[in-house]
Amino acid sequence: MEKSIKLGIIICDRYRTCAGGKCMRALRNREGAFERYRGKEVELVGFATCNGCPGGNVESVPAEMKKNGAGVIHLATGMVVGYPPCPRIAYFTRFIREKYDMEVVVGTHPIPENYYATHTHLGTWDAATWKELLAPTLTDEKTRVSYD
């Protein structure tokens, strides 16, 4: 039997009271950034906030998750859909990869349609960098609406 994929999720501190419902639903249904695990066993071994700007927990939380077996860190969708999106997300991705030798995926649940519409109208994600960062969570409209 294939060994399970262990992962951790880091959320934006603005959403520190979030119960993680959309992330857990997407993980269970293998939607959004979790679609990559379709047909595979996955175990969530950590869930924490970045600890607020400038993201102090990003320095230490991945180490704890790695001790718990995590090989992948997901930076939650809230980091890309917030107003404004996290300005440090590209740096966090690079930092965790370099310091902890872990895979980093930007996103968890699919981007909700209401956020997609607003950010599209505002031009928030027009830069090429955002196209790459959004790719794992950009799904079809029907799925986005189901996450509103």
Tens digit of pLDDT for each residue in 85-105?
999 999 999 999 999 999 999
Q: What is the layout of strands, in order, in the sheet containing 72-75?
A: 42-49, 5-11, 72-75, 103-106
Res 3: pLDDT? 85
Q: Model confidence at 2, in pLDDT bands (50, 70, 90)?
A: low
Distance, CA of 110 to CA of 128 (rounded, Å): 19
Query: Could you tell me the pTM of the whole model?
Result: 0.95
Q: Is 51 exposed, middle or buried (0-12, 13-18, 19+ CB in 10 A)?
A: middle
**Distance from CA of residue 115 to its chain's centroid?**
15
Mean pLDDT of the chain: 95
CB 89 within 8 A of CB 79: yes
Segment 112-121, tens digit of pLDDT:
999 999 999 9
58: number of CA atoms within 13 Å, CB side?
A: 26
- CB atoms < 10 A from the CB of 58, how many? 23
At CB < 8 A and 24+ separation, what contacts does 64-70 make? 65/7, 65/8, 66/100, 66/102, 68/6, 68/8, 69/6, 69/43, 69/45, 70/6, 70/7, 70/8, 70/45, 70/46, 70/102
Segment 41-83, tens digit of pLDDT:
999 999 999 999 999 999 999 999 999 999 999 999 999 999 9
Domains of the chain listed by start with CATH number: 5-146 (3.40.50)
Determine the longest span between alpha carbons in the chain, in angstroms. 47
